[in-house]
């Protein structure tokens, strides 16, 4: 364990993350402000479409914030997996010439995603205050849910980044999966619009759906219309455990595949 | 592993799969699933390589292009994983193989210094401390806030080198640093190597430059076709390497692609004449003979005939021609064949040299025939083979003041 947090690794990680951030807003006038402005604008558009025009919120109180939190969490998942996917290939120059821990590259791109998530959550917090949302003590479960999403995204990132070295199709396939996932996950609409309980149950076995719904429940509102995996399965613990098991399985698979492939990155890129 | 051993390589083999067509998509991987075997060929880059490098040793790895020496270095660095055998490293290794790895053209020089430092394992605080020294050494004070893409390649190399020499580790791996940079920079490189050698640092240097091998390395290994062909004392290995080049490169008849000129006179052959045709090398006390055969196509008066002798690094060591020794060549008649012999004193150090013959008009404004590096010759046997030339000096020692013992 000690070798993973050695001085060298920490120094390298901090420089890689810095470089990522500097390069991302290279040549833009507003620079870092974009990491806050981008989600704000995206949210404004979605707000107009789904809250004012389509009214997909049903009877959920504070639906705009409910919507915002869902979008922020999904964006984090999508940003992290997409950035990590190309990270190993993108850093091919380093991998071919230098002996640095390979996982470090995926890890550093995941940290940049975590930083954007942090900034976005600040916006969420501001909206919570402005809308006078009654945040209860249960919100302390939110960090655990964030960790769950991070672990899921990390497992997938490790797998994707290693597979992308061999198969460049992965980026297109992942794009399609993410598009489908975006609509299969109750981000833009309330779960109550799905009247079939079996379908609700199946949709909530997806760890992202489970985590987003739980995050909304602990942060925004405990209204009965917020359908979560706990509520829909009501005591059937075997089913409730499925999303969490999936997260662990993804992590283990990701780590194992990455470890196996990492030895040959230098020659395969 | 014995405690005085820094690196031990044991029976290491490395094979690369070379796809005939690179299948980087799932579809093609699927299509070629059944006839996988035909999909690629195995290229054995290293075959059963074993060597041991002691602590404090300056070790050279030499070999022709594609011999596998860089692959060996990458295996030592842990970038590649061997297919067979194992490598044991005793101590901390710098991860650097080449200069300027990880440099980002979009970042400023300053930011690149910190990034590159982090790759060497230094954190920001440590880098801050040595930042001024690095910039001063690279002589780039005025440019540090500019983006790296606006640097000339020489500036980039200087910056990279200034950072790289900060590396503090037990074992240094260096690949062809000397291939780049001007004379000034090369001198800095050599100074650095001298310092490493003096400090008994363990260094592994991969290079083509035999004079560097002779000057710095204690021992060296010659790699040929993925196998260790010879291993031992550096100057012996350097000589072996030159011999290897000679056998492969010695062209008694010219290669037409490197021949040019207007063609009124044409050099058709250029070769060294050895006293002992079996030995194929010049000993220190033997004069060097270069023989040219020239076909005359047109009537030419007072042509100038000359040769240029270069070392393997391409440096011109010696240039001579008929004009230089005030020899007039008279007139040549079409259809005749000339034989021109050059004989000169062997002032060359041990090594391999190339000969470029040329024939020009009287004012050297027009070249009738030139063959770039038409042939090579080999010199071997000097007792102290360092430097470029051997001029056999006389050294006198005179005592100007006599000091009696015991006083």
Domains and CATH numbers, chain B: 5-247 (3.40.50.300), 259-379 (2.70.50.60)
Cβ–Cβ gap A167/B98 under 8 Å: no
Cβ–Cβ gap B115/A19 under 8 Å: yes
Cβ–Cβ gap A14/B29 under 8 Å: no
- Chain-centroid distance of CA A200 in Å reads 21
For residue B22, the distance in angstroms to the closest alpha carbon of chain A comes to 10
For residue B70, give the chain A residue with the closest CA. A97
For residue B315, the distance in angstroms to the closest alpha carbon of chain A comes to 30
**CA triplet B10, B14, B20: central angle to 5 degrees?**
175
Select the residue from B7, B74, B102 to test the A interface by mutation, using most A Cβ atoms within 10 A: B102
For residue A91, give the chain B residue with the closest CA. B102
Looking at the complex, does the CB of residue B105 fall below 8 Å from at least one CB of chain A?
Answer: no
Give the torsion sign (CA, B200, B204, B210, B212).
negative
How many separate domains does chain A show? Answer: 1
- Chain-centroid distance of CA A48 in Å reads 24
Task: Provide the pLDDT for residue B253.
Answer: 41
Whose CA is closest to B127, among B109, B114, B143, B144?
A: B114
Closest in B26, B79, B107 to A19, CB measured: B107
Q: At A225, is the pLDDT very low, low, confident or very high (cuts 50, 70, 90)?
A: confident
For residue A98, give the chain B residue with the closest CA. B95
Gyration radius of chain A's alpha carbons: 20
- Please tell me the least confidently modeled range out of A5-9, A95-99, B219-223: A5-9
**CA triplet B50, A269, B103: central angle to 5 degrees?**
90
Looking at the complex, does the CB of residue A26 fall below 8 Å from at least one CB of chain B?
Answer: yes
Looking at the complex, does the CB of residue A263 fall below 8 Å from at least one CB of chain B?
Answer: yes
Task: Provide the pLDDT for residue B246.
Answer: 60
Cβ–Cβ gap A97/B124 under 8 Å: no
Looking at the complex, does the CB of residue A246 fall below 8 Å from at least one CB of chain B?
Answer: no
- Please tell me the least confidently modeled range out of A3-7, A176-180, B43-47: A3-7
Q: How far apart are CA A21 and CA A163, in angstroms?
A: 25
User: Are the CB atoms for A188 and A56 separated by under 8 Å?
Assistant: yes
Q: Provide the Cα torsion B220, B222, B223, B229; round to 10°.
A: -120
Looking at the complex, does the CB of residue B326 fall below 8 Å from at least one CB of chain A?
Answer: no
Q: How many CA atoms lie within 13 A of A122 on its CB side?
A: 8
Q: How far apart are CA B404 and CA A48, in angstroms?
A: 106
Looking at the complex, does the CB of residue A19 fall below 8 Å from at least one CB of chain B?
Answer: yes
For residue B1, the distance in angstroms to the closest alpha carbon of chain A comes to 23
B81 chain-A contacts, CB cut-off 8 A: 263-264
Would you say residue A7 has pLDDT above 70?
Answer: yes
For residue B60, the distance in angstroms to the closest alpha carbon of chain A comes to 19
For residue B73, give the chain A residue with the closest CA. A97
Task: Provide the pLDDT for residue A252.
Answer: 97
For residue A15, give the chain B residue with the closest CA. B115
Q: What is the pLDDT of residues B206-216, one digit of tens each?
A: 888 777 888 88
For residue B266, what are its two tokens?
Answer: 């044409």
Task: Provide the pLDDT for residue A2.
Answer: 61
Closest in B79, B107, B126 to A99, CB measured: B79
Q: Find the helix or strand (DSSP H, E) in which B115 lies.
A: helix B109-119
Would you say residue A34 has pLDDT above 80?
Answer: yes
Q: How far apart are CA A55 and CA A205, in angstroms?
A: 26
DSSP tag of B41: E
Q: How far apart are CA B194 and CA B214, in angstroms?
A: 12
For residue A227, the distance in angstroms to the closest alpha carbon of chain B comes to 39
Q: How far apart are CA A208 and CA A247, in angstroms?
A: 9
The complex's ipTM works out to: 0.83
A93 chain-B contacts, CB cut-off 8 A: 101-102
Q: At A22, is the pLDDT very low, low, confident or very high (cuts 50, 70, 90)?
A: confident
Tell how strand B259-260 and strand B227-233 pair up: unpaired
Q: How far apart are CA B155 and CA B161, in angstroms?
A: 10
Q: Residue-wise pLDDT tens for chain B (407 aa)?
A: 678 899 999 999 999 887 766 556 666 666 666 555 556 678 889 999 999 999 999 999 998 888 888 899 999 988 999 999 999 999 888 767 778 888 888 899 999 999 999 988 889 999 999 999 999 888 888 999 999 999 988 888 889 888 988 888 889 888 876 656 677 777 888 888 888 899 999 999 988 877 788 888 999 999 998 999 999 998 888 878 877 766 554 444 444 447 888 889 999 888 898 887 777 889 888 899 999 999 999 999 899 999 999 887 777 899 999 998 988 888 999 989 999 999 999 999 888 888 999 999 988 888 999 988 888 888 888 888 778 888 888 999 988 888 777 64
Looking at the complex, does the CB of residue A89 fall below 8 Å from at least one CB of chain B?
Answer: no
Cβ–Cβ gap B115/A11 under 8 Å: no
For residue B57, what are its two tokens?
Answer: 């040793």
Q: How far apart are CA A72 and CA A118, in angstroms?
A: 10
Q: How far apart are CA B261 and CA B263, in angstroms?
A: 6
For residue A28, the distance in angstroms to the closest alpha carbon of chain B comes to 13
Q: Which domain holds residue A40?
A: 2-268
Select the residue from A99, A101, A171, A172 to test the B interface by mutation, using most B Cβ atoms within 10 A: A99
Burial class (CB in 10 A: 0-12, 13-18, 19+), B213: buried
For residue A29, the distance in angstroms to the closest alpha carbon of chain B comes to 16
For residue A11, give the chain B residue with the closest CA. B123
Would you say residue A74 has pLDDT above 70?
Answer: yes
Q: Tell me which residues of chain B, numbers 58 to 77, contact chain A at a CB-CB cutoff of 8 Å.
A: 74, 77
Looking at the complex, does the CB of residue B95 fall below 8 Å from at least one CB of chain A?
Answer: yes
Select the residue from A6, A7, A12 to test the B interface by mutation, using most B Cβ atoms within 10 A: A12
Closest in A98, A169, A266 to B119, CB measured: A98
For residue A91, what are its two tokens?
Answer: 């850093």
Looking at the complex, does the CB of residue B106 fall below 8 Å from at least one CB of chain A?
Answer: yes
This prediction has a pTM of: 0.74
For residue A26, the distance in angstroms to the closest alpha carbon of chain B comes to 8
Cβ–Cβ gap B16/A267 under 8 Å: yes
A267 chain-B contacts, CB cut-off 8 A: 16, 80
For residue A25, give the chain B residue with the closest CA. B106
For residue B122, the distance in angstroms to the closest alpha carbon of chain A comes to 6
For residue A33, the distance in angstroms to the closest alpha carbon of chain B comes to 19
């Amino acid at each position: 364990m000690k070798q993973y947090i050695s001085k060298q690794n920490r120094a390298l990680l901090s420089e890689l993350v810095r470089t990522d951030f500097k390069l991302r807003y290279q040549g833009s006038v507003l620079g870092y402000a974009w990491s806050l402005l981008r989600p704000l604008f995206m949210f404004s558009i979605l707000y107009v479409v789904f809250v004012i025009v389509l009214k997909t919120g049903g009877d959920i109180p504070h639906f705009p914030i409910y919507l915002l939190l869902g979008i922020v969490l999904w964006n984090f998942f999508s940003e992290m997996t997409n950035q990590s996917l190309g990270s190993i290939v993108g850093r091919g120059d380093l991998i071919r010439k230098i002996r640095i821990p390979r996982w470090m590259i995926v890890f550093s791109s995941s940290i940049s995603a975590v930083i954007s998530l942090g900034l976005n959550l600040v916006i969420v917090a501001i909206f919570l205050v402005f809308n006078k949302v009654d945040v209860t003590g249960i919100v302390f479960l939110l960090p655990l849910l964030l960790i769950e999403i991070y672990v899921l995204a990390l497992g997938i990132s490790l797998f994707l980044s290693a597979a992308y070295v061999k198969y460049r199709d992965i980026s297109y396939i992942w794009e399609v999966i993410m598009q489908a996932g975006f609509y299969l996950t109750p981000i833009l609409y309330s779960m109550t619009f799905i009247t079939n309980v079996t379908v609700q149950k199946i949709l909530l076995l997806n760890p992202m759906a489970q985590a987003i719904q739980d995050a909304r429940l602990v942060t925004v509102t405990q209204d009965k219309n917020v359908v979560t995996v706990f509520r829909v399965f009501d005591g059937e613990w075997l089913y409730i455990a499925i999303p969490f098991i999936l997260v662990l399985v993804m992590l283990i698979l990701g780590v194992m595949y990455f470890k196996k492939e990492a030895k040959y990155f230098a020659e395969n890129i | 592993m014995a405690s005085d051993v820094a690196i031990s390589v044991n029976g290491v083999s490395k094979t690369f799969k070379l796809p005939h067509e690179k299948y980087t998509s799932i579809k093609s991987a699927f299509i070629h699933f059944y006839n996988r075997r035909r999909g690629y060929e195995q290229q054995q880059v290293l075959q059963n390589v074993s060597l041991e490098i002691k602590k404090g040793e300056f070790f050279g790895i030499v070999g022709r292009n594609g011999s596998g020496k860089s692959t060996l270095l990458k295996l030592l660095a842990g970038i590649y994983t061997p297919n067979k055998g194992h490598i044991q490293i005793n101590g901390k290794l710098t991860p650097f193989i080449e200069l300027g790895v990880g440099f980002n053209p979009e970042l400023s020089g300053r930011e690149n210094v910190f990034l590159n430092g982090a790759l060497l394992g230094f954190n920001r605080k440590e880098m801050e401390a040595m930042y001024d020294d690095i910039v001063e050494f690279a002589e780039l004070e005025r440019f540090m806030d500019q983006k790296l893409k606006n640097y000339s390649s020489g500036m980039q190399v200087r910056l990279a080198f200034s950072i790289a020499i900060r590396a503090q580790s037990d074992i240094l791996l260096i690949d062809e640093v000397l291939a780049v940079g001007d004379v000034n920079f090369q001198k800095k490189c050599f100074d650095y190597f001298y310092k490493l050698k003096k400090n008994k640092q363990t260094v592994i240097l991969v290079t083509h430059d035999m004079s560097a091998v002779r000057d710095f390395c204690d021992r060296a290994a010659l790699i040929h076709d993925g196998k260790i062909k010879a291993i031992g004392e550096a100057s012996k290995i350097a000589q072996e390497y030159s011999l290897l080049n000679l056998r492969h490169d010695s062209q008694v008849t010219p290669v037409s692609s490197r021949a040019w000129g207007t063609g009124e006179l044409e050099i058709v052959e250029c070769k060294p004449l050895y006293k002992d045709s079996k030995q194929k090398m010049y000993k220190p006390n033997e004069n060097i003979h270069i023989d040219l055969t020239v076909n005359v196509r047109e009537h030419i008066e007072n042509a100038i005939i000359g040769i240029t002798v270069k070392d393997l690094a391409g440096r011109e060591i010696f240039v001579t021609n008929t004009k230089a020794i005030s020899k007039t060549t008279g007139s040549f008649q079409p259809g005749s064949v000339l034989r021109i012999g050059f004989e000169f004193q062997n002032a060359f150090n041990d090594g391999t040299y190339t000969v470029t013959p040329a024939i020009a008009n009287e004012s050297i404004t027009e070249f009738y025939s030139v063959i770039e590096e038409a042939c090579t010759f080999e010199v071997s046997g000097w007792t102290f083979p360092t430097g470029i030339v051997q001029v056999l000096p006389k050294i006198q020692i005179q005592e100007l003041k006599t000091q009696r013992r015991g006083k």
